[in-house]
A and B are shown apart, each in its own frame.
Chain A
Amino acid sequence: MPKTATRDAYGKALAELGEEIKDIVVLDADLSKSTKTSVFAKKFPERFFNMGIAEQNLMATAAGLATCGKIPFASTFAVFATGRAFDQVRNSICYPKLNVKIAATHAGITVGEDGATHQSIEDLALMRALPNMTVICPADEVETRKAVRAAVEIKGPVYLRLGRHPVETIFDESYEFVPGKGVILREGKDVALIATGVMVAEALRAAELLAKDGIEAMVVNIHTIKPIDEEIILKAAECGAIVTAEEHSIIGGLGSAVAEVLVEKKPVPMKRIGVRDVFGQSGKPEELMKEYGLTADDIAGAAKSLLKR
């Protein structure tokens, strides 16, 4: 399967959309070559604003542009977009419900060698806690492109979580992306694997592993963490056991969002695959995924241990 980083898909999609939608403007914080907004910048220099290494100013400037009818895409690394500029995102973007799209790249520990300071593992928790915010975490190149377009169609703030590391392409062009609607990628009745972002491919592999042991796992892609698709989670709960998988802290992200739905509507045994409340470290993305228990094996193992109970 071909591999593409979702940041690359973002850069391409943004430059394409820029042609079509003239109100799109792009802001970056000296990372345009990494976030791939440089593709847009080259094509539409007058609509690209490099704000320098000043993320707080970047977010509030994007808010100001949005008040005048622009559709700003504000890009930097996820750790800075959501951490350093949290108050700006909260007070200047989400509270007034301004039409700013925060497209943050280098999310999760697959940032790799840069280490813990640059590995955003709490961004979903932070962004999900904000009223008016839509939170989207695409799984591959195709889904990213469609999500970028969908983000423009949503009126209001959107957080797009993108990665640095190339990931397998799961979807083909016919794939239909509907914000807020999860997707069943594989039917199964014994256990449901609910994943987001780069963990979707891992979950699909985990389902293969489980199948070898005669376990039929349903695989659900939750690309929109907020608003979460309650319906599909309740459907998944009919399997009687759920494993969530995210390249994020187990606190506050997909696992928490799914647990919140289940605990109120249909409690079932559940395990969360994610970074277990620790900071990351330097290393190769694949090594880190293994080190922090974010592989297909880990998901399959969690599913089995649930079924043994």
Chain B
Amino acid sequence: MPLSKEKLEELTMTARKVRRHIIEMTAEAGSGHPGGSLSAADILVALYFHEMKVDPKNPHWPERDRFVLSKGHAAPVLYAVLAEKGFFPKEELKTLRKINSILQGHPDMKKTPGVDMTTGSLGQGLSAANGMALAGKLDGKDYRVYVLLGDGELEEGQVWEAAMAAAHYKLDNLTAFVDYNGLQIDGPIVEVMSPEVIQEKFRAFGWHVIDVNGHDFEDIVRAIEEAKETKGKPTVIVARTVKGKGVPFMENQVDWHGKAPSREQAEEALKGL
């Protein structure tokens, strides 16, 4: 079903709020990863505000859909979305990366309500998502499992071990996203260590592959629907994104992978959001 005009507006508005949180939190923290958080914002908003069945009052609800942020350094986007969704008060966002905060530098399932898996060491999230999907199949539950991978993260060998296993066990209750923003810490992915052609690699591993514009809600939602209808194999949605999306001076700039904006830069960024 296509998105209604109202829903589209709501998602757009929420994504803007999420991006504002990302800027504010990382500026307040004085460190963090704004670039890859901004690139993934629309994907997470589509998931949490359109697709996933979750209950912020009951974060451990056994029937819930699961989400694993395999590129754990994009924690700010996950925290912003969870706060907007009501898993914890938005004031907590100010505590990101500070001592005794529930919001660690990388996602911690034991500290943050709504975080389904602890991540941060790249390459492990898809495996964990596979485990959740296997458990769902075993228990005859109809929850779905979503996982977001970075494009640079695809350089980790374990991702492909997990890709092999997901197809082998026919995990059609699992949908992976690749945040294909083309940049990693040391530069463009194709220059550092090319994981391309991403789509062909997943296809060869037995996955259903969908290409989308990762900043187009209708495109993302359509792909999620297609994934749900795909039986007998897992689906990967390769989402073309812009690192730093929404903040002109951060867009496509590799330097904004792991650097927080100063107060002044944050003010400038917020003006445009």
Contact = CB atoms under 8 A, between A and B. Distances in A.
A64 B109 contact: no
A91 B109 CA distance: 12
Interface string A16-51: 000000000100000000000000000000110101
Given A49-B169, A91-B120, A67 B138 contact: no
Contact of B128 (A25, A92, A95, A97): A92
Contacts of B108: 95-96
Interface residues of A, number: 30
B124 interface: yes
A63 interface: yes
B110 A97 contact: yes
Interface in B26-82: 62, 66, 68
A70 interface: yes
Q: B-side binding surface: helix, strand, loop or mixed?
A: helix
A51 B134 CA distance: 12
B127 A64 contact: yes
Contact of B138 (A25, A51, A60): A25
For chain B, give the interface size range.
35 or more
Interface stretch (B156-164, B201-209, B251-259): B156-164
Contacts of B109: 67, 96
Interface string B122-136: 011101111111111
Contacts of A65: 131-132, 134-135
B135 A60 contact: no
A61 interface: yes
Contacts of A90: 121
Contacts of A67: 66, 109, 116-117, 128, 131-132, 135
Nearest to A93: B118
Given A60-B124, A96-B109, A70 B135 contact: yes
Given A66-B131, A67-B128, A97-B110, A61 B165 contact: yes
Contacts, number: 113
A64 B117 contact: yes
B139 interface: yes
Contact of B135 (A59, A64, A91, A97): A64
A88 B122 CA distance: 10
A52 interface: yes
A68 B137 CA distance: 11
A66 B139 CA distance: 13
Interface in B199-241: none
Nearest to A47: B138
B164 A63 contact: no
B134 A87 contact: no
A69 B158 contact: no
A105 interface: no
9 contacts: A46-B138, A49-B169, A56-B157, A60-B131, A63-B128, A69-B135, A96-B109, A96-B110, A97-B110
Interface of B: 62, 66, 68, 108-110, 116-121, 123-125, 127-136, 138-139, 157-158, 161-162, 164-165, 168-169
